[in-house]
A and B are shown apart, each in its own frame.
Chain A
Amino acid sequence: MSTATAPRPVPPATASPVKPTKPPRAKRRKAVESGEGVYAPTVMTRIGLVIVSVLSIFPLYWMIVIASTTTSNAAGFPPALLPGGNLGKNIQQALADPEANLLLGLGNSMIITGTVTFSVVLISTLGGFAFAKLKFRGSKVLMGTVLFSMMVPLQQLGIVPLYIVMVELQWLDTLQAVILPFLVNGFGIFMMRQYVEQAVPDEIIEAARIDGASTLGIWWRIVLPALRPAMVVLGLLTFMLNWNEFLWPFMVLSGENPTIQLAIRQLSTATWSADLSMIFTGTLISIIPIAILFVVFGRQIVGGIMEGSTK
């Protein structure tokens, strides 16, 4: 499977061998070079990319700046543009604040996101394998249902009855109320089906069957190992998505038992919301887990987003 992700980023490199043999006349040569020119970066390309990169990094950088200075510095104009030395102190103060519940929020978010990610990846490998390699009646209709569920914003429509159910079950303010509706994901099934189709040849499955392997045995011993890279990508995307989920936790959890996102909102609505550097410190803390994943697995995340779109 790594073969599917690895060669993608290199087309610019493979472009040069394609370069046609030098045409004899100068005019022709110029024309052909400008054909290559579709791929040749101009000065404008570079300037544009630098501007875009600065724009996409600046708010993140500014968050760190404010989180590391004192509030009096943060509020003035011109605003602080260089990091101060207060980051450690601010983080300690934010984590220790009894009203903000940041630590509890971090813990809750870890539990919720971890459970959801594990479940989505597991259920998606099972379903993806079945849809890609097993013949069973109704599989086309069922796969159609999966695709349909990917397209329809069920969350907005389902939020009212799910909320009613949670009220009736007296599950408000419990973590299972947040976790349960997110345990499956149509996109995961779809993605795993595509990967299994490429990564697991039919012959291997046939051979395993002749050797007497059961379907579950084939899933465990052949499909899962082949899917490892895809599982990493799906796990990363699911983790990021659910770490950032706001609406549903907001519906069922209270400020006493928040996810990290709810804790951040509370920070900025609280009466002492004037404390800008505290708010930004909390926001920075909420981003750290995802930022670490992004730095460590950036290549896989970029690859996963690009792979997922062309299929």
Chain B
Amino acid sequence: MTTETPAPPATKLTWRQKLSRADMKATPYALVSPYFILFAIFGLFPMGYTLYASLHSWKLGNPDREFVGLKNYEFLLFDYERFNWSILNTLGMFIMATVPQIICALIVANALNKRLKRPMFWRMLVLAPIVTSVVAVGVIFARIWGQEYGMVNGFLDLIGMDKVDWQAGRFSSWLAISSMVDWRWMGYNALIFLAAMQTIPRNLYEAATVDGATSRQQFWKITIPQLKPVLIFTVFVSSVGGMTMFVEPMMFDSGRLLGGTDGQFQTTAMVLVDILRTHGNYGVSAAAGWLLFIVIGIVAAINFLVVNRIQGNK
């Protein structure tokens, strides 16, 4: 008994120490676990499961699934014409939506970077389109580009030109749809460029001025190269966003998934959703998902190389 009396405080101390050590070791994992558990369920698992589904003939309401290898991919690439066209449509709209948008955003950011009164006021004005949802943009712009009473056609009529059925043609519909993307995201990207411009050291410009460089030269030789990392980031985000375009073209056709009479503005995401929701074909839509993923990867890689290159020449 007497030998045991000093023991309890000792074990009590180690128990506390153990607890605190356990706290130091285990709690970090506990803190990050909610993210990783949910990410595993809703991010990683679907990725693998899509691969599995894409290799099977599998439809809604039919529990039998048969392994068919790459048949679903073959079907999309060689038999289902809409799919290849949709990739072209998506690429076309992505380019028309991204290139002018980034150029405008750079110019606007450069303007916002000047010594303005009430800078926050201008920034909020430029950012205002972000309050609309994509669906709302679709609703509004579908009317602006409308054939009968649309504002653009009204204007064309006013200056004596023929009205255009913007939905009918491939190029004209792309133009209308990319205007939605341009309008909604230009200000957002301008703010991102502005933030990066503000981190450029002022003495670079001062030195350039002493050397006699004009504003234009300074913009191209100092501002643009300094923005390289942000440009790469923005182009990447725009590639992913543009290549998964869905709501704008859908709303341009009053909420339908077929992208116009001949699918002239049907994007790959619309094809995927159409196969999945309208036809309930799990296997083929999963294959479409993977093909889209691969295309996005290729586009992102090409964009990276292009942005890197332009920088190198300047």
Cβ–Cβ contact B47 & A158, under 8 A:
yes
Cβ–Cβ contact A157 & B32, under 8 A:
no
Apart from the given pairs A48-B111, A59-B140, A78-B154, 18 other A-B contacts in the complex at a CB distance below 8 Å: A8-B195, A12-B116, A32-B210, A39-B113, A49-B116, A56-B187, A59-B183, A60-B131, A131-B32, A156-B289, A162-B46, A183-B38, A265-B135, A265-B255, A273-B254, A302-B191, A307-B195, A309-B230
A272: which B residues are within 8 A, CB to CB? none
Q: How many Å lie between the Cα of A135 and that of B154 in the bound state?
A: 64
Residues of A within 8 A of B (CB): 8-9, 11-12, 15, 18, 20, 31-32, 34-35, 37-42, 45, 48-49, 52-53, 55-57, 59-60, 62-63, 66, 75-79, 123-124, 126-127, 129-131, 134-136, 139, 142, 145-146, 149, 151, 153-164, 167, 180-181, 183-184, 186, 189, 212, 214-216, 219, 240, 243-244, 246-247, 250-251, 261, 264-266, 268-269, 273, 276, 279-280, 283, 286-287, 290-291, 294, 298-299, 301-302, 305-307, 309-310
B12 is an interface residue with CB less than 8 A from chain A? no
- A53 to B, closest residue via Cβ: B125
Chain B interface size, as a band, is 35 or more
Query: What would be 21 A-B contacts, judged by CB atoms less than 8 Å apart?
Result: A31-B210, A31-B212, A45-B114, A48-B107, A52-B125, A59-B132, A59-B140, A60-B131, A79-B151, A130-B28, A156-B269, A159-B276, A184-B42, A215-B23, A215-B28, A244-B134, A247-B247, A269-B254, A287-B132, A291-B131, A305-B191
Query: Which of B46, B188, B296 lies at the interface centre, i.e. has the most chain A CB atoms within 10 A of its CB?
Result: B46
Q: Is the interface of A mostly helix, strand, loop or mixed?
A: helix
Q: How many Å lie between the Cα of A62 and that of B132 in the bound state?
A: 13
B27: which A residues are within 8 A, CB to CB? 130, 134, 214-216
B38: which A residues are within 8 A, CB to CB? 123, 180, 183-184
- B280 to A, closest residue via Cβ: A167
B174 is an interface residue with CB less than 8 A from chain A? no
C-beta contact mask, B1-20 vs A, less than 8 Å → 1, else 0?
Answer: 00000000000000000001
Q: How many Å lie between the Cα of A135 and that of B28 in the bound state?
A: 8
Partner of A9, one of B20, B119, B233: B119
